[in-house]
Amino acid sequence: MSQIGSFALLFALMLSAYSFLAGLWALTENSAVSQRVGETARRSGIATFALVALAGAVLVAAAFENDFSIAYIFHHSNRDLPAPYKFAVLWSGQEGSLLFWSLLLSAYGLVLRLRHKTDMRLFAHASVIIAAVQIFFLLLLNFAANPFGIMEGALPPDGNGLNPLLQYPEMVIHPPMLYLGYVGFTVPFAFALAALIMRYPGEKWIHITRRWTMVTWGFLTCGVFLGMHWAYSVLGWGGYWGWDPVENASFMPWLIGTAFLHSVMMQEKRGMLKTWNMWLIFTTFMLSIFGTLLTRSGLVSSVHAFAQSSIGGWFTYFLALILATCLFFYVKNRSHLRSEHQLESILSRESSFLFNNLLLCLACFTVLWGTLFPKLSEWVQHHQVTVGPAFFNRVNIPVALLLLLLTAVGPLLAWRRTSLESLKRNFFWPAVGALAVGLFLVATPERWGGVFGMKPWRDVAYFYSLVTVMLCALVALTVSSEFVRGGRVISRHTGQNLVASIFHLIHRNTRRYGGYIVHFGVIVVVIGFAGSAFNQEKEQEMGFGDKMEIGGFTLVCQSYTQDDNPNYESEWAVIDVFKNGRQITTLDPERRFYKASQTPSTMVANRSTLQGDLYLVYEGQNRDTGRPIIKVHLNPLVMWIWIGAWIMIAGTVTALIPGAVAVRVAVPSRMRAEPVGAGD
Amino acid sequence: MRPAAPMLRNSILKRCLQSGLLFVTLLAALGAGDASRRFTDLGHRLMCVCGCHQILLECNHVGCQYSSRMRDELAAAVDRENNDDLALQWFVQAYGATVIAAPTGTGFNRVAWIMPYLALAFGLSTVVLIVRSWKSRPLLPPPGSVKPVEGAELDHFREQARRDTDTEDQIQKGH
C-alpha cells in the first residue's frame, strides 16, 4: 500500500514539473503548437490533483487498516482509535499535514484550471505559478518528509496513537479549515504575480483575486475561531488565545489579508494603491509560508508545533525564492502599478482605508516581532527571554481600539472627500449613544460578573473593557444607521416594511452590506474579549457533598468516579450547580489518560450562556486523600465570541453572493437620502 | 469681542485634555491593591517553567513539578517583599530570565517595547510621504481617455462641430 502512495507522489511531482515547464514555454511562445502544449500543461495540473488525492486516500486507508508497516501510521494512529479520528491522522503529523497541504493546493489548482475560460491567458500564468508552488511541496514529500516511509525491524503490534489533544470533534474540522485558509492564499498570490508579470491591463484580475481572497480569508477565519474554541474546550486553562507562536502564525496572514480586503477597494474604485495591494497579497502568501516554517522548523518553541525537523531549511530557501521572484517582477514592471488618482482630502474613505491598513500592518508587525524576539534576544544577549501574553496584550489592545474607532468612522466617510459638517452631523448621535452605553454600564448595579456596574477606576483592564464596549456600541450604531438609512429609501419607494427593505438593500449590494455584517461580527467578538477583564477563578479539593462558592454560583460535589475503555482511562466528578438556591445544571469535568500515547488530557465541563461561562476543570486527585481537585473559571461573555464568529462567517458568505441588479427607482431629487458613504 | 472666541475655545480644549490626562493617570494609579491582587498580578507576569509555555497561574498540568511550588514561593515573595520588582527579581535569580512572561524594560529587552512604537512612527511617516507624493505626482490618464484639447485647436474643433451640425440641420429641414 505504501508503494502506491509513494509512486502517486512521485508521478504527481513529474506531472507538476511538466505542468510548470510546458506551461512556461507555452506562455513565451505564440503559435498553434504552444497553445496545444499549454493545454497539456493545464491537463497535467488537473491530473496532479488526482494523484495527490490518491496518495491522501492511501494514507487514510492505511490508518483504517492499521498498517503499522508505514512509520507515519505507527506514530500517529493505533488500533483502538475511533473511526472519525482516523481521518484526522492525515494532518496530525509533519509528513501527513504536508501531504494534506499539497492535496488542498492541487484542489485549488483544479478549480482554477477548470475555470480557465474566464481569462485564458491570466489563468494560464496563474496555473504555472501554482504548479511551481506545488513542485516545492511535492519535492518535500518525495525527498524530505515522505509520509509513506517504512518501519524498520519487526512489525509493531500497535501504534503510538493520535495525540490526545487532537481527539476532539473540532479537531476533525479545525485543521482542514486552517489549511484551506493558508493554502488558499496561494491562489490570490498566483493571480497577483501573474497580473504583474503580464502587465495585465484593467482591473479584472483584482476582481478575481479579491473573490479568491475573500473565500480564503473566510476559511482562515473559521480555522482560527475553531482553533480558539478547541483550545478553550480541550486545553483546560480557561482561555482561548495564548499568543503562542503557532496561534500567531495563523493570525499574521489573517491580519494582512484583512488589510488587503480593505485596500483593494481603493484600487477598484479609484485606481489607487496598486503597488501596496500587490505587496499585501505577496506578503500574505509569504506569511502563510513563514507560519509553516515557524511551526515545523523548531525556530520557536510552542506547545502546538510539530516536532523539530530538517525541513526548516527548505522553507527558508523557498521563502527567499518567492521574495526574490516578487522583487524581480516588481522592479521590472513597477511602472504598470502607477496610481490613477490622488488623495483629495484627509476626510475621505480613502484615508480611512490608509489608516486601517497602517494599523493592521502594525498589529501584524508587533505579533511577528513578539514571536521572533526570543530568538533575537538569544542571538544578541545569548539568552532567551519570554514574550508572553502581557507583551502582546499591552501593545495590541490600543491598536485594536484605534481600529474599532476607524471601523465606526469609516462608513460615515464618502469617497474622495467628506465635509467636516457632514461627518459631525452623522457622528453626533452614534457618539451620544456610545456615551450612554458607557454611562449605563457604570451606573447599573453590579451583575454578569462585573460587566454591568463596571468600575473602570479599579483596574486598567476594566477601563479598557469599558472603552472597548463603548467603541463597539459606536460601531454598531454607525453601521446600523447605514442599514436603516438605505432601508428607508427603498421602503419609501417600494412600499415594503423596513426589515424587508433592509434585506432588499443587502441583496442589491451584497459586498458592501456583507462587509458591514462582518463588522457586526467583529464587534460581537470584541465584546466577548472585553469580558475577559472580569474573569474569576477558584480551585478546591472537593469530596462528597463539599461546596464551593464563586460569583453567585454554589457548586456541590455529588460523586466522583473512574472508568476504563480500550482507548483511555478516565476519572470524573459529578458537580451540581445551584444559583439562588435552585439547581440549574449538573456538570461532569473529566480527566483522561490515553493508553497508547501514555498522555493525560482534560475534558472541560462548561455551562455556557450569553452572560458567561461556568467552566470546570478536573485537575486531578489529591494523592493523600484521593479526592478530586476542581478548578472553576467564571468567564463572562465568552459565548459572544463564538456568536460573533458565526456572524463574521455569515457576512463573508453574504459578500460572496453576487449582488442583484439594482432596481431602478425614479427618485425625485428632494426625496433622495443624503449619501453618507457612497459605494463599497 | 470676536477674537476672544478662539482663545476661549483653545482654553476649554486645553482644560478638557488636562482633565482627560488626569483621569487616565488616576485610573492607572488606582490599580495598586492588596496582597491577593498582587499575587494574581505577579502570577500572571510569571511563566510556569515545566515546559508547558503557560502563565504560572494558568498552568493546570496534573502532577506538574513546578507550578504548585512556584505558587507557594510567589505567595511567600508577596508577603516578604513590598516591591513587585524585587519579588520578580527573586524568581529570575531562581529560575532564569525566561520565567518573566514579558521582556523587562532594561538593556536590550527595552528594544522589544520600543520597536512597535518605532514601527508606528515609520508607518505614519510612510503614509504622510505617500499622501505627499500623490499630491505632487502627475497622474496617468485613465485607460481609453484622449488628450485634452486646448487653445486654437479647441476653437478649430468647435467651428467644425458647428458647421457639421448646421449641415445636419439643413438636411433635416430639406426633408
Q: CA of A623: which chain B residue's CA is closest?
A: B63
Contact (Cβ atoms closer than 8 angstroms) between residue A615 and residue A209: no
Q: Can you read off the three cell numbers belonging to residue A378? A: 538569544
Distances (CA, A) of A597 to A94, A159, A170, A209, A591: 17, 9, 20, 44, 15
Over residues A369-383, mean pLDDT: 89
More confident residue, A280 or B49: A280
| ipTM for the complex shown | 0.78
Contact residues on chain A for B142, CB-CB shorter than 8 A: 271, 340
B31, B123, B134 ranked by CB distance to A362: nearest: B123
**pLDDT per position as a tens digit, B21-33:** 655 554 444 444 5
Q: Which residue of B has its CA nearest to A620?
A: B62
Task: Evaluate whether A617 touches A633 at the Cβ level (below 8 Å).
Answer: yes
Domain ranges of chain A: 1-162, 168-396, 397-533+641-671, 537-639
State the Cα–Cα distance between residues A70 and A678, nearest whole angstrom: 60
Span A222-241, pLDDT tens digits: 999 999 998 888 887 788 88
Instruction: Give the best-scoring range by mean pLDDT among A342-351, A447-456, A623-632, A636-645.
Output: A636-645
Q: How far is B153 from chain A (nearest CA, A)?
A: 26
Separation of alpha carbons A147 and A149, rounded Å:
6
CATH 1.10.8 for the B32-102 domain, yes or no: yes
Q: What is the mean pLDDT of residues A263-275?
A: 83
Q: Convert the pLDDT of each residue in A156-182 to its tens digit.
A: 888 888 877 778 888 788 888 989 999
B130/A386 Cβ within 8 A: no
Nearest to A389 among B62, B101, B119 (CB): B101
**B27·A358 Cβ contact <8 A:** no
> With an 8 Å Cβ cutoff, are A342 and B137 in contact?
yes
Residues 6+ apart with CB under 8 A from B120: A362
Residue A419 has pLDDT above 80, yes or no: no
Residues of chain B neighbouring A373 (CB-CB closer than 8 A) = 103, 112
Report the amino acid identity of residue A131: A
Across B131-155, average pLDDT = 62
The minimal CB distance from A303 to the residues B24, B53, B102 is found for: B53
A422: pLDDT strictly greater than 70: yes
For A578-628, the pLDDT digits (tens) are 998 899 999 999 988 888 777 788 889 999 999 999 999 998 888 788 888
Inter-chain CB proximity B60 and A303 less than 8 Å:
no
A338/B101 Cβ within 8 A: no
Please determine, for residue A653, whether its predicted confidence score (pLDDT) is greater than 90. yes
Strand partners, A616: A605, A632
* Pairing relationship of beta strands A612-621 and A568-579 according to DSSP bridges: unpaired
The SS3 of residue A577 is strand
Chain B residue with CA closest to A593: the answer is B62
- Whether A590 and A605 have beta carbons less than 8 Å apart is answered as yes
Residue B133: closest C-alpha in chain A: A342
Query: Which residues of chain A lie closer than 8 angstroms to B126, CB-CB?
Result: 358
Helices (H), ranges, A495-509: 498-508
Which candidate, A537, A576, A583, A536, places its Cα nearest to that of A557?
A: A576
Q: Cβ-count burial of A607 within 10 angstroms (0-12 exposed, 13-18 middle, 19+ buried)?
A: middle
Contacts of A338 in chain B (CB under 8 A): 137, 140
SS3 A574: strand
